[in-house]
Amino acid sequence: MNGNTNMRQNIVLIGFMGCGKTTVGRELHLRLGYPFVDMDQVIEQRQGRSVSEIFALDGEAAFREMESALLRELLVSPLPRQIISTGGGIVTRPENIQVLRCLGYVVWLQASSSVILDRTSKTRTRPLLQTENPSERVAALLTEREPLYRAASHLNVETYGLDCKELATGILESARYFFSF
Ligand code: S3P
């Protein structure tokens, strides 16, 4: 039992860019049939522009406001059970840590910096990594964020060597114990 009667029954995926939140989230959605919310996609749809455009035109702080507001919105959603995939920087606002933990079972997907670099170098959709030295940026952000992911999560999953189906199976087993469903 999770011991918190106010907690919603979502499964919330957190972790660094490129760790597989969206792919694993879709797999959980297929298995459980719960609606899937990809927070970056919701923000892009509402804004009618990409995350990169929001960063370029309004700045990172404006994007953080949008994602924090959406997170609070999910807390009062009429749908108590969803699969929620967050953006990698959701934990950088301290107030979001508590909101995340009230949203449900928070799963931190971990990947090594080399896997992250490999995956994120295939697209140019991550504004924070469009720098001269993405490897240095990933290392710095990981150092800053790892304690935050740890503080926000109920479960920590090392993704190395596992595909999205295997990851989903493990997460579902643990979620069943957590929620006792
Ligand atoms: C960010 C991660 C991105 C997106 C934005 C900022 C971050 O989401 O929200 O580019 O600060 O780590 P993904 O983790 O889905 O790539």
What secondary structure letter does DSSP report for 3? -
Residue to probe by mutation, ligand 1, list 19, 23, 40, 130, most atoms within 8 Å of CB: 40
Instruction: Give per-residue pLDDT as tens, 2-47.
Output: 555 578 999 999 999 999 999 999 999 999 999 999 999 999 999 9
- What integer pLDDT is reported at residue 2 of this predicted model? 55
CB 127 less than 6 A from any atom of ligand 1: yes
Averaged over 53-68, what is the pLDDT?
Answer: 98
Q: Which atom of ligand 1 is nearest to the CA of 22?
A: 15
CA dist., res. 155 & res. 176, Å (int): 12
How many residues are listed for the chain in this entry?
181
> Three-state SS across 28-79?
HHHHHCCCEEEHHHHHHHHHCCCHHHHHHHHCHHHHHHHHHHHHHHHHCCCC
CA dist., res. 82 & res. 139, Å (int): 31
Instruction: Give per-residue pLDDT as tens, 101-152.
Output: 999 999 999 999 999 999 999 999 999 999 999 999 999 999 999 999 999 9
Instruction: Determine the 3-state secondary structure of 165 from DSSP.
Output: helix
**CA 31 to centroid of ligand 1, rounded, Å:** 25
CB 170 less than 6 A from any atom of ligand 1: no
